[in-house]
Structure 1
């Protein structure tokens, strides 16, 4: 087996069990290997550190799958996916719709598996995982008891691995759009064309967390997509919910979801730029008891953090201005590069500029079926702050 030798003094991340080995950490690649092959990672004294797959074309040259000297084969994937499934059962995170495998959070770097009722959606975002799709599908069919498996490999991140984009059936033929349950509510899911793999499953537990603030409340859900937060607010007793999104197609599904769940009389949707709508609502003197802000990622990379900070501050300042006294702001960021401490600092800046006092009630993360691996900070990407604004 070929092996990758790390430079002297550059093995700290591997010893701390971070699964990514960057090209700049590598001193030499010894032995014959092809992109996607399994290789060992060793220190400068040739001491074993880990085993994973290699792609010299990627800045993340090796993704470690095991810290032990074991075969990476069909049995390995079966056991690792079974462990991911069992972990979710053990912590009570299994649900009709949930994430079955979360990449490095489950020591299966670049593999994503989401389940929507009896349909599984798979993403293989690195070459070494992509060439093992058959092993993964076989394990999923057996462990999850479904033959309905669809791949959503249309993410641009695959291009960093030299991979093309593709989507389609990998097991079975079935309707790709259907009703599915989240927290007892029905949502129209399109695994072929929807955002991510169909729904934002990472917000499932945060959707539930707004319950204490909804009864009798007037609620605004900015960047509402297909109404995840909005419908939960209605289910928890809100007297009026307004959802805002710039996507006409997303709002069409949101209205369908509201009607399906019997909330059409209390939930309405507005098409528009959330920044502009918030500004207009403030100028019109509109006030809400609960404002939810869940924008797309403003910081796709380190280079964008400064601009993202300004964007997050602006939208949260606008949200605070339309909150009634002692109102609740639920605000999120899915940008990994906007770290939790920076996110909280941004909220403090926004509150100061809005002339409001703000107390952090709770700082949450992604749902537990998206496990955060300690020492791998990239697995902790979602922030969800619940803030009381005086």
Structure 2
């Protein structure tokens, strides 16, 4: 390579023999200096709308309701560093590389052209950007007039989410397969959700027969939305939502539950993860079920099972793995891409 390409300037990649490998983004300051954008015979012109159209068509085939899903998932859709979530005609964008930061106008133009978007909102306020060495900024509008709150439908449940200030882009589409499993494990039981966000997991427990649900979230606005979503799904009287961190909740509650839900998104270290999990095991009755959600980072790749086993051993509990729900089809990943499978989950029966 001669010279240093500017962010957003695709380069032609070649092997040591000079054979063309395809198009790529180059950022020598990033942990992944080269990210592949296109095939050897692919033209630079029209690349973003072309890949976006392909991603959009894929969702139409793979997702139950493509109005509410992730439309672009990073390398898995041939657009490394770009995340786009769809809320009907409104789209929320995150960019996670300097190259995609430089393409905001091109991305917006392509979204409007390909999808007919009513609005496009940029959410580059995530901790993930800090971890990648990128600056963060307040949410701001790229196109149209995005609503702050949006209603969505998923797996028969209704949710109101906050697109502007909610966690991530407003809703965790990546947990869709977890919600299916939670529904199967919740029958006529008592449920504790230690970090409920807007209620994405516990609502499905309630819709599938849970008789009582106690939920917590450290964010007051998220807790308010969780209560609203419980009511919207006919769960009023069966759900109590309180403000508090997951660890506070797990320590304060003394009773045991048939199903415990533990999302560790706000956990910063593996030691904290094990501590949270130990308390979650204490809150799970013998013969009960525990759903654990972990993230990489902070957890090391390949270390999730060992950490779960460590917590079980420390609490003298035996656990049987019932399911390992992963990323849903609207979160395709590139085989061999470091960090692509960032979500690790397990559903356990605990004795």
TM-score, scaled to structure 1:
0.83
User: Any idea what the Cα deviations from partners look like across 1:136-194, whole Å, max 9, x if unmatched?
Assistant: 22322232232322121233555656656253222212422132222222222221111
| Structure 2 residues not aligned, in runs of 5+ | none
**Is 1:344 the counterpart of 2:305 in the alignment?**
yes
| Residue number in structure 1 paired with 2:315 | 354
- Alignment match of 1:235 (pick from 192, 203, 207): 207
- Higher mean Cα deviation, 116-125 or 144-153? 144-153
Work out whether residues 63 and 330 of structure 2, in 8 Å CA contact, stay in contact via their aligned partners in 1. no
SS of 1:228 mapped into structure 2: coil
Whole-angstrom distance in 2 between the partners of 1:340 and 1:368: 21
**8 A Cα contact 2:124 2:137, kept in partner:** yes
> Which residue pairs with 1:208 in the alignment?
180
Q: Which secondary structure does the structure 1 equivalent of 2:69 belong to?
A: strand
Summarize deviations over 1:176-226 as a string: whole Å, max 9, x none. Answer: 213222222222222111111111111122112111211210000011112
Offset, 1:230: 1.4
* Aligned residue number for residue 267 of structure 2: 298
Tell which structure's C-alpha radius of gyration is larger.
Answer: 1
Q: Does 1:183 align with 2:155?
A: yes
**Which residue does 1:268 correspond to in 2?**
240
SS at match of 2:8: coil
Question: Is contact 1:247-1:271 (8 Å) kept?
Answer: yes
Distance 1:258 1:156 in 2: 28
Q: Distance in 1 between matches of 2:169 and 2:187?
A: 31
Distance across 1 between alignment mates of 2:4 and 2:243: 56
Aligned CA distance change for structure 1 residues 309 and 371 (closer, same or farther; 3 Å): same
Superposition map of 1:192-207 within 5 A: 192-207=164-179
Q: C-alpha separation between the residues in 2 aligned to 1:60 and 1:342? A: 22
Contact 2:177 2:325 survives alignment (8 Å): no
Instruction: Find 2:103's aligned residue among 116, 132, 136.
Output: 132
> 361, 371, 376: which is aligned to 2:332?
371
Contact residue 121 and residue 146 of structure 2 kept, 8 A: no
In the TM superposition, what is the alpha-carbon distance from 1:324 to its structure 2 partner?
A: 1.7
Structure 1 residue 60, shift from structure 2 partner? 3.4
The answer on 1:224 being equivalent to 2:196 is yes
Give the alignment of 1:69-218 within 5 angstroms: 69-74=41-46, 76-92=47-63, 94-155=65-126, 157-158=128-129, 165-218=137-190
TM-score, normalisation: structure 2: 0.91
Q: 2:14 aligns with which of 42, 47, 59?
A: 42
The answer to whether the Cα contact below 8 Å between 1:221 and 1:293 also exists between their aligned partners in 2 is yes
Task: State the secondary structure of the residue aligned to 2:123.
Answer: strand
CA 1:247–1:46 in structure 2 vs 1: closer, same or farther (change >3 Å)?
Answer: same
C-alpha change, 1:369 and 1:278, in structure 2 (3 Å) is same
Match of 1:16 in 2: none
CA contact (8 A) 1:126 1:161 kept: no
What's the CA shift string for 1:48-93, capped at 9, x where partnerless?
Answer: 333222334444333220241422222x222211211222233335
| Paired residues of 1:35 and 1:54 also in contact (CA < 8 A) | yes
Query: Shift of residue 277 of structure 1?
Result: 2.4
Report if the CA contact (8 A) 1:36-1:55 is conserved. Answer: no
Q: Taking structure 1 as reference, are residues 59 and 187 closer, same or farther at Cα in structure 2, changes over 3 Å only? A: same
Cα distance in structure 1, aligned partners of 2:146 and 2:219: 27
Contact 2:270 2:298 in 1 (8 A): no
Runs of 4+ in 1 over 6 A off after TM superposition: none
The CA deviation at 1:343 is: 1.0
Summarize the Cα distance change of 1:259–1:34 in structure 2 as closer, same or farther, 3 Å threshold: same
* Rounded Cα–Cα distance in structure 2 between residues aligned with 1:32 and 1:270: 52
Partner of 2:292: 331
Query: Which consecutive residues of structure 1, in runs of 5 or more, have no partner in the other structure?
Result: 5-29, 300-307
Instruction: Mark the CA change 1:198 to 1:90 in structure 2 (over 3 Å): closer, same or farther.
Output: same
